[in-house]
Chain A
Amino acid sequence: MNEAVMNELAEPIMKKSSGPETEESLNIEYGETVGQPFCEQAKIKTKNVNVFYADNQAIHDISLDIGSHEVIALIGPSGCGKSTYLRTLNRMNDTIDICRVEGQILLDDEDIYHKKQDPVLLRARVGMVFQKPNPFPKSIYDNVAYGPRIHGLTRNKAELDDLVEASLTKAGLFDEVKDRLHAPGTGLSGGQQQRLCIARTIAVQPEVILMDEPASALDPIATAKIEELINELKENFTIVIVTHSMQQAARVSQRTAYFHMGRLIEVGDTDQIFTNPAHELTEKYITGRFG
């Protein structure tokens, strides 16, 4: 293949990354977050959060409240900091040496970055579901029983059995696996594995569940099941979900926050964000002009 052909092929890709629709060409000035970042019954309050990876600032001055028993979706182009923000909420970033968090994050008005706060207990209260299903290489039963066992949530085997069954039932998985609870969790299909991970998280009885693109590795049917599950879970839990799919955000969330280049651009009711975005960047993103 000669060079001219190569260039021709490369062109459309280059247009995407450095075409006219970047923030330089849009000439946007980052100001205050548009919309209503605060709410009355806040479960988690974040104030002026900055996150650095070594010298790189990944998150700039984000203030956002997460209401009790609501599903809030974080959307935005790749690398906009939404996953990083999510991981500050249960101090998952602590596992990265070079990561540094500034600002205030309050869970039920307690500072989770306070010196006396135990990140391990925090993570039991703020559970997390990851992008790629990551069941432990143990049996289905042991996967769900893992959290209750390490936290001593049950007193005997019968209670543990009940808790495992209840968690699997809530995750909509029990009927599919009830005959093979002692088969390895890694032997399930991708969608079942992800629901197993959700069951595992529910079993610890957290107050908040963080979901980092929980359906991005799944097929449409498995995705639909996960979304259905999220709708049921919001009765009992506060859910923060990062997603790349705007349809998904529209389907499952009550509020939506749009991130761009480490900044929180706009927050609002999901309906309003997707029908009548206030900020130019939000509009361009949801109409698919970049991202």
Chain B
Amino acid sequence: MKISALIFLVLLFAAFSYFMARQKITTAYRQHKSKHKILTLPKYFGYVAALCSLLPALLVLLFLQIVEEPYINSEISTFISASNIEANQDLDLYLNEIKGADTPEKVAALSEEKQMVYQRYHEIEQTTARTISVVVLAISILLAIWGLRKININTPARKVFEKIIEGILLLAASIAIMTTVGIVFSVLFESTRFFGEVPILSFMFGTEWSPQTAIRADQVGSSAAFGAVPLFVGTMLISFIALLVSVPLGLMSAIYLSEYASRSIRSVAKPVLEILAGIPTVVYGFFAALTVAPFIRGLGESMGLSVASESALAAGLVMGIMIIPFVSSLSDDVLSAVPQSLREGSLGLGATRSETIVKVLIPAALPGIVGGVLLAASRAIGETMIVVMAAGLAANLTVNPLEAVTTVTVQIVTLLTGDQEFDSAKTLAAFALGLMLFITTLILNVIALHVVRKYREQYE
């Protein structure tokens, strides 16, 4: 039986169970004159009965699905070794060939030996599928019947339902957390493999980045130097330029919107500003590469400066525009949340509006503002597309914003695109870079948290 059909049947039994239980309790209420006026609604008994059959059945199905494939594989390997067929290739490849034969033509094309294995495989697969269906349906039906018999008006249905809901919510939360933990561990694991090939110190403090490894021994120009410093300097340079643009502009527009703008201007300006965040970064990218970068180059040359046609400045400026909404929207929200009484208190002492903003509102709203800046910073650090298009790929170690630089994320992309062996140092370097990036943003977060805790002025 197909999995989808199986799930449908299980759901059907659960629905049946729900209606039966609800009916049973409704009838019981009618016959039983209770001294309490407030009773648990019959639908809760229905939910409990339905979930009582549904959840175990689904869990068992999930478990069986997971163990199904290893089981079939081990069975078929036993068969192969028992019947003395020579699997003279890799066993995995052999099995793949047999499993891949899903049309009669392909089956006919297999050798006689393989056809025999194919037959056996097919039998095993069918029995397993049948067993799974029977087990799951049996659990579902038996539990539905058991639940319906057991449930009565004294069942604490409301309480049980709350517990189940709590469990489901916990599950949802833990999936997100587990995913994060999983990503961290996979990156960590691959990174240690990389550090087995390239010493960690030469990665962290090396100043030359040229990840082309030599395929042939006589190849020239493939030095395979993995010094990450130029990448991190490039990332920091571009992010710094971006923040230099977005923090003042974003903060000032937030102040205008929350303190000066009339309601009608605000209702138009705020959504328009937020649209900036919705423009795809590719669009910003070609805007940066085709408009801003040549403009900066022309401007620089007219002043007698030598400017690369792809410069950190161009990428940083455009990125700064892109992340304005992250700063302004969050800052606007927290500034608006500062109680009106503080504003009036300051104005009542003869302070001007700008004095009030600088001395009272911004300190009070500082945690939220820093939060917005952090969000913007992490967007800037993680941004790839604009940098690829406007800042180039050359890993120059420089803090001159007029030169081409590259960033960590851009290099991760170039390392992993194209045909690569997955266990070469070049590919693994991407994981090491990812790990470093992760640690950097983590440190940034910790610092910001500390700053906020030290300087915040807490109202209420």
Question: With an 8 A cutoff between CB atoms, is B350 at the interface?
Answer: yes
At the interface, yes or no: B363 with Cβ under 8 Å from chain A?
yes
Chain B positions within 8 Å of A124 at CB level: 349-350
* CB-contact partner of A134 in B262, B341, B351, under 8 A: B341
Q: Which residues of B contact A127 (CB under 8 A)?
A: 348-350
Please determine whether A130 and B350 come into contact, CB atoms closer than 8 angstroms: no
**Closest residue of chain A to B366, judged by CB?**
A137
**Which residues of B are found within 8 Å of A97, using beta-carbon distances?**
262-263
Give bound CA distance, A97 to B346, whole Å: 18
Interface 0/1 of A113-128, CB less than 8 Å to B: 0000000111111011
Contact with A along B347-378 (1 / 0, CB 8 A): 11111100100011001100000000000000
| Contact present for B458 and A92 (CB under 8 Å) | no
By beta carbon, the residue of chain B nearest A133 is: B341
Q: Mark A131-160, 1 if CB is under 8 A from B, else 0.
A: 010111110000000110011000000000
The distance in angstroms between the C-alpha atoms of A201 and B347, with both chains bound, is 11
In the complex, are the beta carbons of A130 and B344 less than 8 A apart? yes
Instruction: Write the B419-460 contact mask toward A (1 if CB under 8 angstroms, else 0).
Output: 000000000000000000000000000000000000001111
User: B345, B355, B360 — which one has the most chain A CB atoms within 10 A of its CB?
Assistant: B345
Task: Tell yes or no: B339 within 8 A of A by CB.
Answer: yes
Q: Counting CB contacts under 8 A, is B110 at the interface?
A: no
B350/A137 in contact, CB under 8 A: no
**CB nearest to A146 among chain B residues:** B349
CB of A73 within 8 A of chain B? no
B363 near A92 with CB under 8 A, answer no
Hey, which chain B residues are within 8 Å of A151, CB to CB?
A: 350
Please indicate the chain A residues that have their CB under 8 angstroms from the CB of B355 in the complex. Answer: 150
Considering the complex, give the chain B residue whose CB is closest to the CB of A91. Answer: B347
Min Cβ gap A239→B in Å is: 15
Does A265 sit within 8 A of B, measured CB to CB?
no
B343 within 8 A of A: yes
B342 touches A134 (CB 8 A): yes
A-B contact pairs, 8 of them (CB 8 A): A130-B344, A130-B348, A134-B342, A136-B345, A137-B342, A137-B363, A146-B346, A184-B457
**Which 3 pairs across A and B sit closest by C-beta, in order of nearness?**
A124-B350, A137-B457, A128-B348
A interface residue numbers (CB < 8 A to B): 90, 92, 95, 97, 120-125, 127-128, 130, 132, 134-138, 146-147, 150-151, 184, 186, 197, 200-201, 204
